[in-house]
Structure 1
């Protein structure tokens, strides 16, 4: 039995007609619904999403820091050479044939630091093997020094720069940790730095014609700057100055034993 309405038929008919005029076409239920009595089911406002952090830029690799870590980890000359072979952050490596590590007698009292390999050095894989190297051997022999007995030789850079150009400051800084570790592991009594690039790397100074023949100190060692043999080939008159520096080197070795 259905539920009786509290409205009289005339009032109910009037309300129905009014709803039809409003556009009502279908009845949803048999009984009216009190919307005010229903629970609030309105969708809740969404919380604003937390702002996303801006994507972080990748940290640029510092090749000097990488070189310092690689060099410090080497406890022998063989390990140092392997670390330099594996070092991938110097673009000079891509255009060079060989790593030019060293030549001579490791642990010798005299360690010579040249600048960078040339064509002959790049081809052979040893420092000072071209015309400049032949002149160097004659210079050393004049004061009873020999790379096969009492001289150890390396370069600031182990790879040949294109067209034998001068190394850039960033290339020197990148390979400097390896050079310093090379000196520490070799334990010479004296360093001979030949040319501007070597003076810059070891002494942080340039102007070889002004610096040559003047003893200095670096890496806890006495350092003698000298003219590079390649310069002497271009300027033969400067050989007199080189001879004076060689005599000074011999006197130092004799006095210091």
Structure 2
């Protein structure tokens, strides 16, 4: 029996990230406590023990019924909380490393040295960017594929070749475009990026945008648009102008259908061409 993605059970990390975004920052126990109900009365023996500051019972002594151990150890943190703490530590380390970089070469070196993303262990190469970092247009995809992992450059496989042809049609090439991804290592089997992998890489791609400061950003694919723009539903939002905002930095940004999607669904190339024309018009306006 096939299970649709909508019915798949979320991972502990996805649950923890949802809790964090919802403002849940403390986990007390697995059973909810109704604090509107008065607690049961203490037994006389327990009351006397607490009032007297009793410590541990003497060896061989029998504790009074209802007595509460004065130094009971708290329960172990649930797995979801532990996963959340781990993700937060990785994000903090990535953010600190990214902030310390003042140039694109420094940032590239920091990305290559970063060990907080598990994908690094299975990837052949670290894939960061290609093109001109001084270009007015920055295209940000999702993750390296097989060819990108082999060559160490983004968008060099079949979908990358299609992207190059699309850019050429509006007068763009590596001299006036800068191309990267939200992930710098290939997910095994070209699967979708996981939440923890995006968290580990996001501070670096955000710092790369800050250093390059393009005039226009194109987010190729649903994961890129969701990560950088907070926009979901790529077939609905594609071709619509958004704003990438981080601090004082505000950049016009457009979600695009990923070239790999166009290879699978050639019937939507008409819409993709209209989006490319819109990009060209915006770049002309901002000259």
TM over 0.5: yes
Are residue 177 (structure 1) and residue 212 (structure 2) matched? Answer: no
Are residue 245 (structure 1) and residue 275 (structure 2) matched? Answer: yes
Q: Is the 8 A contact 1:128 1:134 kept in 2?
A: yes
* Structure 2 CA distance for aligned equivalents of residues 192 and 203 of structure 1: 11
Q: Give 1:172 deviation, angstroms.
A: 0.8
**Alignment map for 1:51-200 (pairs within 5 Å):** 62-147=89-174, 149-200=175-226
Q: Is the 8 A contact 1:68 1:177 kept in 2?
A: yes
Q: Give 1:96 deviation, angstroms.
A: 0.1
User: 1:208-239 CA distances to partner (integer Å, 9 max, x unpaired)?
Assistant: 10110000001310001110100000000110
Q: Is the 8 A contact 1:173 1:201 kept in 2?
A: no
Paired position in structure 2 for 1:28: none
* Structure 1 CA distance for aligned equivalents of residues 272 and 145 of structure 2: 21
Are residue 226 (structure 1) and residue 249 (structure 2) matched? Answer: no
Q: Give 1:85 deviation, angstroms.
A: 1.1
* Structure 1 CA distance for aligned equivalents of residues 114 and 230 of structure 2: 24
Question: Unpaired runs of 5+ in structure 2?
Answer: 1-54, 56-70
Q: Give 1:253 deviation, angstroms.
A: 1.1
Q: Give 1:205 deviation, angstroms.
A: 2.1
Query: What secondary structure, in the 3-state scheme, does the structure 2 residue paired with 1:224 have?
Result: strand
Q: Give 1:107 deviation, angstroms.
A: 1.4
* Structure 1 CA distance for aligned equivalents of residues 282 and 226 of structure 2: 23
Query: What secondary structure, in the 3-state scheme, does the structure 2 residue paired with 1:154 have?
Result: strand
Runs of 4 or more above 4 Å deviation? 57-61
User: Please, what TM-score do these two structures have when normalized by structure 1?
Assistant: 0.76
* Structure 1 CA distance for aligned equivalents of residues 286 and 115 of structure 2: 41
Q: Give 1:173 deviation, angstroms.
A: 1.6
Task: Give the structure with higher Rg (CA).
Answer: 1
User: 1:53-102 CA distances to partner (integer Å, 9 max, x unpaired)?
Assistant: x9xx9985710011100000011111111111111111000000000010
Aligned-residue CA RMSD (Å): 2.2
Query: What secondary structure, in the 3-state scheme, does the structure 2 residue paired with 1:97 have?
Result: coil
User: 1:170-206 CA distances to partner (integer Å, 9 max, x unpaired)?
Assistant: 2112211101000011111000000001011101222
* Structure 1 CA distance for aligned equivalents of residues 163 and 283 of structure 2: 18
User: Please, what TM-score do these two structures have when normalized by structure 2?
Assistant: 0.68
